């Protein structure tokens, strides 16, 4: 079947496209690079023609509060309208575990708005919420760096490999719509500060680690469990050290 992958040129998107093609499907990556822009609507009607499923793994180029909100709201509205017109039968989106628990974060508020639009959009849907990718951990450390010190709280994180996130998204895309959410997390939860210490040590990075409960996460205060699943969740099996040894 034809499956359009919005954001199919990104970290998760390229992997999802490969997995769907390996399973024998016509996976079509769609993004500004291929002339499809969900923000402006450019190319959407054309790419949707004949599609049974749409997978949205796009991301906002800007994380600034207003820009990211405009991206996820406008893009999702444009996408759902194009899907309705084309008779698409399943909309799959990738979101983040904890999206509904971090109201001070512009990014998470925008992801929650995306989820709500999908739930109310009238297209059968599935939302996969994943925890932070291993590939994103360096960015988390850099964002928490002040001078030569990394300031991290001891709130928990349960990261996972992008390859396992992509596998979860592809599997969901090939199954019946969930009409709901599924949470995915990595094999182990650990305090952000401990993860940061491990990464700095493993890389011989000379930045000092400061355990700082007031330190935010991209500007947001965290409770101990803000970033990890609170209820039932699927678990990836690749551990962080094993993933690192494969890089
Ligand atoms: N980072 C994490 O740890 C994490 C954790 C859980 C969930 N997520 C979610 O995972 C999703 C994918 O993240 P990622 O890291 O794979 O993203 P990424 O590598 O930054 O890729 C972003 C993709 O979005 C596309 N895009 C940007 N603007 C677009 C537009 N106007 N119209 C259509 N496509 C557009 C890009 O296309 P071009 O290549 O053409 O620019 C690219 O294919 C995001 O929704 C994010 O919320 C992330």
227 lines ligand 1 (CB under 6 A): no
pLDDT in tens, 176-203: 999 999 999 999 999 999 999 999 999 9
pLDDT in tens, 123-175: 999 999 999 999 999 999 999 999 999 999 999 999 999 999 999 999 999 99
Confirm if 30 and 43 have CB atoms less than 8 A apart.
yes
Q: Pick from 4, 5, 7, 226 the residue to mutate for probing ligand 1's pocket: most ligand atoms within 8 Å of its CB.
A: 7
* Averaged confidence pLDDT in the chain: 97
Alpha-carbon distance of 150 to 203, in angstroms, equals: 14
Percent residues over pLDDT 70 in the chain: 100
Residue 232 φ then ψ, to 5°: -65, 140
Measured in Å, residue 222 CA sits from the centre of ligand 1 at 24
CA-nearest residue for atom 36, ligand 1, is: 7
Parallel, antiparallel or unpaired: strands 90-96 and 53-56: parallel
30 pLDDT band (50/70/90 cuts)?
A: very high
Q: Pick from 6, 29, 31 the residue to mutate for probing ligand 1's pocket: most ligand atoms within 8 Å of its CB.
A: 31
Evaluate if residue 216 carries a pLDDT over 90. no
11 lines ligand 1 (CB under 6 A): yes
Alpha-carbon distance of 122 to 83, in angstroms, equals: 10
Evaluate if residue 219 carries a pLDDT over 90. no
Measured in Å, residue 210 CA sits from the centre of ligand 1 at 31
Confirm if 145 and 202 have CB atoms less than 8 A apart.
no
38 lines ligand 1 (CB under 6 A): yes
């Amino acid at each position: 079947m034809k499956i359009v992958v919005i954001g199919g040129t990104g970290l998760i998107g390229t992997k999802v496209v490969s997995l769907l093609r390996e399973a024998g499907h016509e996976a079509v990556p769609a993004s500004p690079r291929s002339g499809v822009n969900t923000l402006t609507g450019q190319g959407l009607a054309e790419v949707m023609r004949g599609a049974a499923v749409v997978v949205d793994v796009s991301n906002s180029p800007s994380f600034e509060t207003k820009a990211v909100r405009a991206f996820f709201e406008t893009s999702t509205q444009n996408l759902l309208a194009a899907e309705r017109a084309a008779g698409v039968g399943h909309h799959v989106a990738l979101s983040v575990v904890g999206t509904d628990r971090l109201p001070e974060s512009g990014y998470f508020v925008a992801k929650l708005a995306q989820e709500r639009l999908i739930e109310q959009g009238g297209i059968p849907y599935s939302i996969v919420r994943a925890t932070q990718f291993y590939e994103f951990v360096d960015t988390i450390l850099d964002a928490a760096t002040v001078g030569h010190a990394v300031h991290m709280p001891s709130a928990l994180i349960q990261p996972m490999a992008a390859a396992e996130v992509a596998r979860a998204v592809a599997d969901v895309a090939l199954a019946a719509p969930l009409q709901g959410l599924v949470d995915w997390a990595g094999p182990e939860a650990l305090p952000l500060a401990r993860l940061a210490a491990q990464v700095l040590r493993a890389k011989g990075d000379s930045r000092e680690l400061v355990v700082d409960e007031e330190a935010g996460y991209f500007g947001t205060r965290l409770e101990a469990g803000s970033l990890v699943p609170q209820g039932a969740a699927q678990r990836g099996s690749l551990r962080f050290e094993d993933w690192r040894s494969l890089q």
